[in-house]
Amino acid sequence: NAGVTQTPKFRVLKTGQSMTLLCAQDMNHEYMYWYRQDPGMGLRLIHYSVGEGTTAKGEVPDGYNVSRLKKQNFLLGLESAAPSQTSVYFCASQDTINEKLFFGSGTQLSVL
Amino acid sequence: RKEVEQDPGPFNVPEGATVAFNCTYSNSASQSFFWYRQDCRKEPKLLMSVYSSGNEDGRFTAQLNRASQYISLLIRDSKLSDSATYLCVVSAGTYKYIFGTGTRLKVLA
């Protein structure tokens, strides 16, 4: 009964370092999303995917890349981290019947 | 103007009180509406969808006013466990979900 699993939960990076956030869902959902949440702002869409092998840009895609090689996994990459990418990142998958979004538990990322 | 606007609060209410939040949206083409609940440092979770005719789920009632472009959430008989941030979410089409910044509720004993 895992739902959406997101790793890691916390990470501290130095400016210029790279990392990958992993999102895995076991609900056979086609649609998956990556959001970031910053104080005083709503969740903002970074990238999304409507199925295996497809990805698309969201509202704030700069500095991020994604891949969806397998239906259950959606990876978010930061090639060269910047302090402006300090945020809480949430992955979500979607039940397209009722539009319900299922979120992972989040990743707190700090870039120094 | 933000696409989705909410009063950040906090709304401090005693146990047993009734409290209501509003959320306004700017895109008249918006099609779907939701309330999500987010506990401190946790992920958002769907509380309820909002239907045109209004809908109720236990102590929670959601309403949509398309003419004035707002949705509301009413919580009756507030419990301590209702303390959380309530996020308004509006969709103008597939993949495009706009989140409000949330309204913080604190229910006091």
Q: pLDDT tens for residues A45-99?
A: 999 999 999 999 999 999 999 999 999 999 999 999 999 999 999 999 998 888 8
- Who among B36, B49, B101 is closest to A41 (CB)? B101
**Structure-block tokens of residue B2:** 């933000």
**Structure-block tokens of residue B42:** 């946790």
Residue B93 confidence (pLDDT) above 90: no
Tens digits of per-residue pLDDT, B19-73? 999 999 999 989 899 999 999 989 999 999 999 899 999 999 999 999 999 999 9
Taking Cα atoms as reference points, which of B35, B13, B31 lies closest to residue B23? B35
CA–CA distance from A110 to each of A63, A87, A89, B13, B82 (Å)?
15, 7, 11, 34, 30
How many beta-carbon pairs below 8 A join chains A and B? 44
Which residue, chain included where needed, has tokens 């945020």? A87
Quick one: pLDDT at residue B15? Answer: 98
Q: Chain A: which residues have CB within 8 Å of chain B? A: 31, 33, 35, 40-45, 48, 50, 56, 90, 98-101, 103-106
